[in-house]
Amino acid sequence: MSAPEWTLGAPADGRSTFLHHITSLFAEYGEPPWPDGGRPFPDDPPDWANAMMSSVVLDGIRTHHFGIDAESDRAEALAGLIARTVEAPPDTAAAQRFHDALAETDALTVVDHLLEPLAAREVSRRRTRVLARWTAEHGTHRDAVKIALALLGLCGDERERDLLVLLGSLDEFALYAAVALRRAVPDPEPDLFRLARRATGWGRIHAVKRLEGVTDPDIRAWLLREGFRNGVMDEYLAHFAAVNGGLLEALAGDGAGGTVDDALLDGAGGILGAMAVSEGGPAAGLADYPDAFDALERYAELLDAAPATLGRLTDLVRIRDHLLGEPGGLGRPADEVARIGRRLARILERPEWEETVRVHLAEPEGEDFGAALWAADGLGLRSFDDVLRRLRVRPRDSLAWHWAFRWADREHVDDLVELAQALLPLEELATGPSEASSVGPGYEDDRALESVLHCLARTPGSGWPLLRTGLRNRCVGARAAAVSALEEWREGPLSAEAVSVLRLAEAEEPHAGTRERMSAVLGRLDPGSGVV
């Protein structure tokens, strides 16, 4: 006689689950990406948009940069809780208590440390799978769902495929779903590919990195043309795509299709440019790519006959500047590396590149205007009048403010400051401090103000109305930028009004580091009666 089935019923509290939230997003919007990344989540507080850093960003930074402090004792305790829960008769209330215990746990600190204590206790794999799946399906807290996904990777099987892909469609869970797919599903490549295509930010980075050693030619082709691009930094995936997508082979025409199409050429530029930027940075760069020199040489050869486009220009400038600077070891003598850099520089001297930039700069409301500004700077153009036209129709364009101040000579800086004071809604931006960052929708004016304030640090002594607004802005970054400008103020004492505003800002500042800097400025500058 077979053992009775160990099953769990649905909870009775009616709380909104992540699974229901995700299926609702699919029903309303279709395939991701979704507005605001699918937020608010079921466990988000009312002020979720004001958080300095979202949990998915924090997970990404911890996994890629700082490492994770393992909580072995907590993992042991959770293993014990799992054992007690599954050894008892099935009890929905006990399963809910298990969920709530997971909700109080930092998922990243335990998910890689559960296998050993579970094995030591000889916990039923079948029942653990039931408990984990129940938690994933009925989870109302993100950490509970994350740990449940990890458990499905340890105890689940092919039956979890669709659930893992569905939950992993949310960037928040992509890391955990991708790892679980690698562990539980015999052939995870197609599902990881689905996850990677749905994601745009950290979720794409996590999913793509689980495609290491991929053999499917369609996936390899996608990595080179699109898969390395993400909403965080292309540098995180550029080297991975070059190696696992077979960049040099594809550029030589030996890959799938046998030819170098426009999408591959553009992708190659993006990958090589991102690896150039990565040198000494957070990800592997050209020096870490064994085929870098040959790929660069082939890329330059292909570009000699390629039409000029704005995207190619941006990549070309990055690669040229790197190769003519200090590119490091690429397995060849420095003069050979510089030779490719000079070849790219000659390509950029073709008049059609400048013509392409000017076409885009002539459209101040165009979506590619920002890229055109960057490219113009790379070509040595200083299109100050064009950027002014942009600011008059798009005063929220923070990058346009950056380039305007960078290109302005001293006699035009005061005019630019006056323009910022006229175009930005200063009264609406001086609402008082909070812990909010300027990331995301609804903060466009705050980001523009912050950009202007960063520029004022290079022109001390001007723009007091902007600084006053910055000190009273809701976003930490804008207040910090205003303090940076005041730290450079060496022209004389602050006015009595400025001292008063700064003292009030210091008293109300919720961010400790910014408050300390305000105190330091007040301690250095004596109150005076001069005009700011």
Please tell me whether residue 228 adopts helix, strand or coil conformation.
coil
Between 15-19, 76-80, 417-421, 487-491, the lowest mean confidence (pLDDT) is in 487-491
When pLDDT is cut at 50, 70 and 90, the band that residue 259 belongs to is confident
Q: Is the pLDDT reported for residue 1 higher than 50?
A: no
DSSP 8-state assignment for residue 112: G
Whole-angstrom distance, CA of residue 432 vs CA of residue 447: 16
Q: Is the pLDDT reported for residue 81 higher than 50?
A: yes
When pLDDT is cut at 50, 70 and 90, the band that residue 494 belongs to is confident
Q: What is the pTM of this model?
A: 0.87
- Domain ranges in the chain? 1-211, 214-346, 350-423, 426-532
Condensed to tens digits (0 to 9), the pLDDT of residues 497-521 reads 889 999 999 999 999 999 999 999 9
**Which is nearest to 377 in space by CA: 321, 449, 454?**
321
b/e string for 139-177 if b means 16 or more Cβ within 10 A? Answer: bbbbbbbbbbbbbbbbbbeeebbebbbbbbbbbbbbbbb
**Which is nearest to 234 in space by CA: 280, 168, 284?**
284
Between 65-69, 172-176, 472-476, the lowest mean confidence (pLDDT) is in 65-69
Specify whether the CB–CB gap between 139 and 17 falls below 8 A: yes
Q: What is the pLDDT of residue 5?
A: 85
Taking residues 11-37, report their average pLDDT. Answer: 92
Q: What is the pLDDT of residue 68?
A: 66
Q: Is the pLDDT reported for residue 207 higher than 90?
A: yes
Token pair for residue 392?
A: 């008059």
Say what percent of the chain tops pLDDT 70.
Answer: 94
Q: What is the pLDDT of residue 530?
A: 39
Give the number of other Cβ atoms within 10 Å of residue 507's Cβ: 9
